[in-house]
Amino acid sequence: MSIYPIPEFSDEENPEWGPDEFARARPFHEVIAERFGAKEAEELLCRYGRSKASPRLPATVCYAAKTVDQPPE
């Protein structure tokens, strides 16, 4: 692998980050709260999908063989 940058893949408008940029970087949840306020940040950071306190319970269902083997009408 070459240590020299490939010209067609280099981006002058968005160069690679160096140690200084990484040192100044902060977590998204901190920056978004400063920029939009705590309430809006909370809405933006909400987790999607089922909640951990889901009302669903595992269950086993048994069907009669004649019910399962019948062709649809």
Q: Does residue 30 sit within a domain?
A: yes
Residue 66 counted as domain residue: no
Residue 41 lies in a domain: yes
Look at the chain and report how many structural domains it folds into. 1
From first CA to last CA, the distance across the chain in angstroms is 63
The pTM score is 0.41
Query: How many whole angstroms separate alpha carbon 45 and alpha carbon 36?
Result: 12
Averaged pLDDT score across all residues of the chain:
80
> How far is residue 47's CA from residue 32's CA, in Å, rounded to a whole number?
15
Note whether residue 57 is domain-resident: no
For residue 11, the model assigns a pLDDT of 74
- Has residue 53 been placed in a domain? no
Question: What local confidence, expressed as pLDDT, does residue 58 receive?
Answer: 84
Q: Residue 18: which domain range? A: 1-48
Tens of pLDDT, residue by residue over 12-46, are 787 888 899 999 999 988 898 999 898 888 888 87
